[in-house]
Structure 1
Amino acid sequence: MNFFLSVSNKRNDGFTLVEVLISVTIFSIVAIAIYGGFSQLMRGISILEIKNGAVNLASERIEVTRSLNYDDVGLIDGAPAGVLVGEEIFSSNGIDFTVKTTVRSVDDEYDGLLGGDPEDDNPNDYKFVQFDIYCTDCIYQDVMSFYTTISPQNSSAGSDGGGAIFVKVLDSYGNPIQGAEVSIYSNASTTIDIDDVTDVDGQLKVFGLPEGNEAYQVEVFKTGYSSERTYETGSVDNPNPNKPHLNVIENQITSVIFSVDVLSDFEVKTQNLSCENVGGVDFNLKSSKTIGEDVYKFDQDLITNSAGLLSVNNIEWGNYNIDVFDSSYKLYGANQSLPFKINPNVEKDINFFVGPNNPNILLVQVQDFSTGLPVSGATVRLWGDNFDQSVETQNGYFRQTDWSGGPGQDNFSDESRFYESDNNINYLAEGVVGLDTFNGGYVSEGYLESSIIDFSTTTDFVSIDWSPQDNPEDTLLKFQLATNETLNASSTWDFVGPDGTSSSYYENSGNSINNVHNGDRYLKYRAYLESSDSSLTPILSDLTISYQSNCFPSGQVYFTDLDSGTYNLSVEKDGYETHEILDFSVDQNWEMINIPFAR
């Protein structure tokens, strides 16, 4: 039997594997794009349904409220009191919504104000009702707010009587805070329980409150801010509070002011006198603010970790004292003046220098009388029986307060001059830098660059401060720094902000300077001024850069192993008046003397 193999040269048509893969990829890309567009369309439709449901529900609640008798328009346990519930869940368009209701009595200035001129004996002129509606289980969870006003049908209606509480909330600079949450509730026989927010003037006015002696507790808070409240007189922890619970008297106003501001963070580092981190150091941190007699708002015992570090977060602005009570160490100084200051909305690095727990340690802090900043190069002498020692403070600050000498100075020698600007800066007035004007208004932005500042040796930079700190709204003053270890013909100046990059800026006075500059000798700064309102300009009147040239803290010296007894102290430096303290006793384990050094 014969077998023959027949070979055909005709190619069968078809797709290769590569062609199939390419086709599948293209199809997948197109399908994903179509699906993505469809998903966005469906999401938009769902959000529209949620919003329509909220609008329908708001219309229903407004109609229900308008159908009530005027005296019933209020909250259960609220002021004004009524039959409405503060927070409820309703269904609309098949969606469950949370409805938060707020009712306020309004004193219209048309017929006079309570406590004003003319006096309004019936300040409850009409009621303002707000419904905040949101869905916690929906893809759209934003709060939707709806408002209505309801007036009495006759002049006698709305005479709720009672007294009023006016709450005002300010920041640390005295500016009003809008949207601060205020909680008012009664600790007496009444059942008042009010949660509301401040208006654009930082105020909340509550009328028609029943009389009571220290009957109302008030607390103010805002997300990301510090809080403040009233306290009960005679309590065990705070028997004599600075702000006791409020009294309410018939037809009278009880006013109270609270100060809150953005919280800050700082990093504590404990080091020995050789700049080596020391772990496990016990210390007490105490705010200078009190909430009552000898009761401090912040008073905590803390300890650094094994690496000598501790993060202290969400701390309120103010001055803080440090007390090292560790069995092995005592405080020998800090890289900040003591007590150290925390400004609102800053991140700060604070180094505490500790040494052996020797007896009778005296820490002397020398500060410029007019600025409060540490003074370097001051000779501090302590003498007494069998003791006589002089030590020089090692650290200090650079300060510039005048730019009226103009640009063109490469190296800083004339304290009134600088290197350059972009011609959008007005520097002619002594002690004031602002934006220049054009066509009757301020330009929108400009910058000024300093001369080269020589710190004489390698330097660790601590912080940058400036004044004023409360420039007008819609304006901005910010800075960048550039440093070099040496100078030559090829030296460049790379300006950076607090994160060490050219895209960040020091925007808060008191900012810690990024340690990328540490170990350098020469520094320049740039001031950037911006305004979105042609009628306003930010102002720069004072710039200070604090630094330390070695490990020992700014403007501080210490004496240790002192015998108990009577001592004398003097502080001298060219350009300053000699400061003396004579015949004072040293008999404590640790104490500190502040020297206000006057020129």
Structure 2
Amino acid sequence: MLNKKGFGLLEVMIAVAIFVVFAVGIYSGIQYVFKVVYQSRLRILESSILNEQIEIIRNLSFYDVGIINGSPAGVLTKTETIRRNDIDFLITRTIRNIDDPFDGTIDGEPKDLVPADYKMVQIDVICSHCSQQEPLSVITYVSPKLLEGDPTHGALFIKVFDADARPVQGASVQVVATSTNPAIDLIEFTDNEGMVKLLDLGEGMDVYHITVSKPGYTTDQTLSPSIENPYPIKPPASVQAQNVSEISFSIDKISSINLNTINSICQPVANASITLAGSKLRGTEPEILKFTSTIHTNASGNYLFNNLEWDIYDLYANNYDVLGSIPASPLILLPGMEQSTQLILGPNTANSLLVLVRDNITKQPLSNAQVKVYSEGYEKNKETGVGFIRQTDWSGGIGQQDFLDETKYWSDDGKIEVNNPAGDLKLLQLQGKYVFEGSLESSVFDFGLPVNFVNLNWEPFSQLEGVGENGVRFQIATSNTSTPEQWNFLGPDGTSESYYNTENIAINEVHNNSQYLRYKLFLTTNNNDFTPIVSDINISYITSCTPPGQAYFGALTEGLYNVEVLRSGYQPKLDTINVKNDLIFGMDLVSL
């Protein structure tokens, strides 16, 4: 009987694996050889195409060597696709006039009045669909037989720089001139010095339209006069025969403003109509702003202004008064900046004044400055950098839990007069005599979020002598719920035994980080022929949405007002201004 032995499964698998390794290696080698051969074939074809293109240019007249609508102008196209061996190749031609320093340059000494000495020709060829990374290129120079160039032509130097006056490299410069001989429509890119130098251009006045751009950057351009803009800041460029014309453009990274409209208690104001206006001009007589846009914020009070140029921007509210902004207006928007901005809005009044107090050197807003605005029959004092709630009318009567109707309050003891006249609080008068004391408790004020309290103020601050000392006193109660079990009214020392009066207006820190507040007013008199009077109660506070260095004055009548500003460490300042509509007025203080 014969002994038959075969291969086991493991032996077969090992043999197959070895074969696969060798087979893959051989296949990869063959593929690499094919690839090298193919690339060599492409290079041979591209070299042949380059040689053809050079021969074509050599057989042209010097004056025909150029790009159609380019500078220098000629009969050649900028790009062309040709087919060789069923493969498409893209040809790109670049032709420039060269001002050789041998006989001087047009902007040097000696001055070369005919600077187009010869031409540089660069031809690039690349296979469009062969995964080729770099084109094959050749550069040659073409000289005229006798003359250098057309003596009726001139040169145009275009300089592009950024906001810091540094040259911008690689910026696209499009130049279009349809009325020149020859016509021009070309795109060049700035060199390392941010320059594009175009030689041998046809002369013409205000005929070269130029647009400068770069991905991620702003755009700058010339503008033709029009009915809307008869005197543009930057009209089209001119070229004079045998002269250099220079024009500059400024571009930089685009910026944005993320706007949020809120009210004085940090709640969003939806669908607010806001106008954003820059300060740069695109025309004069009349002045025409380069940028102005009116938008509406969304339901959350937000709007994103995109693709903005660096500039100084003002924000205006339509159908609202601007109580302030964070940061303070005007906004200084730098290149590449994403600026978040809060605009604090209040009820619209016919005339309002927003005073911005700044350091005259740093231009930074100054909080805790005392701002006094006064004229005949009007005087108000505010402190910059704080918000406030205010009540000026109680004629609507009692019974209001939450402060919704600004003419109502919660309760009184029956000894307070609120309608004689409306807007003033007095002691009740019976048979020609005032009662000796009375009290009133306000509705609940909601600040929208926990706040830190500053001062309690009222007007008139001084009372008639017959009333006696401390004819007007207050206590306040705070909470983080609008319906606490009990409102604990406290005075300036944090206890129920003290009262806020003309000597104590600073609110105790025990109330800080509270969202809801009530005040309790106590009126007393020493002589029942006299009554204390209160016409305005306001409580100042600080929150994350309190505009720094700003004080708002609303419901003004049109006319002249004196604005006086005092702050520790700075010289006092007094200005007289004319208030009409809504005015933002800056006061720059000089340090001592």
Aligned to 1:323: 316
Contact 1:394 1:550 in 2 (8 A): no
Give the Cα separation in 1 of the matches to 2:383 and 2:47: 74
Aligned to 1:435: none
Change in Cα spacing, 1:389 to 1:210, as seen in structure 2 (3 Å) is: same
Aligned to 2:184: 192
Aligned to 2:123: 131
**Alignment of structure 1 residues 323-402 onto 2, 5 Å:** 323-325=316-318, 327=319, 329-384=320-375, 385-394=377-386
Change in Cα spacing, 1:561 to 1:108, as seen in structure 2 (3 Å) is: same
Deviation for aligned residue 1:205: 1.3
TM-score for the superposition, normalised by structure 2: 0.64
Give the Cα separation in 2 of the matches to 1:337 and 1:284: 16
Instruction: Provide the aligned C-alpha RMSD in A.
Output: 3.7
Deviation for aligned residue 1:161: 3.8
Aligned to 2:206: 214
Pick from 543, 547, 552 the counterpart of residue 553 of structure 1. Answer: 547
Pick from 167, 172, 177 the counterpart of residue 176 of structure 1. Answer: 167
**Alignment of structure 1 residues 433-472 onto 2, 5 Å:** none
Letter in 1 for 2:370: T
Deviation for aligned residue 1:337: 2.9
Aligned to 1:575: 569
Give the Cα separation in 1 of the matches to 2:155 and 2:236: 14
Contact 2:281 2:288 in 1 (8 A): yes
Give the Cα separation in 2 of the matches to 1:312 and 1:46: 52
Aligned to 2:580: 587
**Alignment of structure 1 residues 512-551 onto 2, 5 Å:** 550-551=544-545
Contact 2:370 2:381 in 1 (8 A): no
Give the Cα separation in 2 of the matches to 1:28 and 1:77: 61
| Secondary structure in 1 matching 2:63 | helix
Percent identical residues: 33
Deviation for aligned residue 1:393: 2.4
Contact 1:70 1:158 in 2 (8 A): no
Change in Cα spacing, 1:142 to 1:347, as seen in structure 2 (3 Å) is: farther
Contact 1:365 1:595 in 2 (8 A): yes
Structure 2: runs of 5+ lacking an equivalent: 1-6, 11-15, 388-450, 453-512, 514-541
Give the Cα separation in 1 of the matches to 2:571 and 2:122: 64
Give the Cα separation in 1 of the matches to 2:194 and 2:20: 56
**Structure 1, residues 13-63: CA drift from partner, whole Å, max 9, x if none?**
9999xxxxxxx99x9999999999999998898777767755554444334
Structure 1: runs of 5+ lacking an equivalent: 1-12, 17-23, 396-456, 459-518, 520-547
**Alignment of structure 1 residues 226-375 onto 2, 5 Å:** 226-233=218-225, 235-293=226-284, 294-325=287-318, 327=319, 329-375=320-366
Aligned to 2:57: 65
Structure index of larger Rg: 2
Give the Cα separation in 1 of the matches to 2:94 and 2:563: 64
Deviation for aligned residue 1:189: 5.1
Contact 2:353 2:583 in 1 (8 A): yes
Give the Cα separation in 2 of the matches to 1:304 and 1:37: 64
Contact 1:56 1:92 in 2 (8 A): no
Structure 2 residue 156 is the aligned partner of structure 1 residue 165 = yes
Change in Cα spacing, 1:262 to 1:146, as seen in structure 2 (3 Å) is: farther
TM-score for the superposition, normalised by structure 1: 0.64
Give the Cα separation in 2 of the matches to 1:550 and 1:31: 72
Give the Cα separation in 1 of the matches to 2:80 and 2:29: 36
Give the Cα separation in 1 of the matches to 2:32 and 2:357: 65
| Secondary structure in 2 matching 1:71 | helix
Deviation for aligned residue 1:65: 2.2
Q: Which runs of 4+ in 1 moved over 6 A?
A: 13-16, 27-52, 141-144
Aligned to 2:505: none
Deviation for aligned residue 1:247: 1.9
Change in Cα spacing, 1:278 to 1:126, as seen in structure 2 (3 Å) is: same
Give the Cα separation in 2 of the matches to 1:270 and 1:264: 20
Deviation for aligned residue 1:120: 1.0
Give the Cα separation in 1 of the matches to 2:245 and 2:176: 15
Give the Cα separation in 2 of the matches to 1:367 and 1:47: 69
Deviation for aligned residue 1:286: 1.6
Change in Cα spacing, 1:100 to 1:170, as seen in structure 2 (3 Å) is: same
Give the Cα separation in 2 of the matches to 1:142 and 1:92: 19
Deviation for aligned residue 1:147: 3.3
| Secondary structure in 2 matching 1:129 | strand
| Secondary structure in 2 matching 1:165 | strand
Deviation for aligned residue 1:335: 1.0
**Structure 1, residues 399-453: CA drift from partner, whole Å, max 9, x if none?**
xxxxxxxxxxxxxxxxxxxxxxxxxxxxxxxxxxxxxxxxxxxxxxxxxxxxxxx
Contact 1:47 1:139 in 2 (8 A): no
Give the Cα separation in 1 of the matches to 2:172 and 2:58: 27
What is the aligned length? 428
Change in Cα spacing, 1:264 to 1:136, as seen in structure 2 (3 Å) is: farther
**Structure 1, residues 209-246: CA drift from partner, whole Å, max 9, x if none?**
2221212111111121111111212x123211111112
Pick from 194, 197, 201 the counterpart of residue 193 of structure 2. Answer: 201
Change in Cα spacing, 1:187 to 1:354, as seen in structure 2 (3 Å) is: farther
Contact 1:264 1:342 in 2 (8 A): yes
Please say which of residues 145-154 and 282-291 is displaced more in the overlay.
Answer: 145-154
| Secondary structure in 1 matching 2:551 | strand
Contact 1:288 1:296 in 2 (8 A): yes
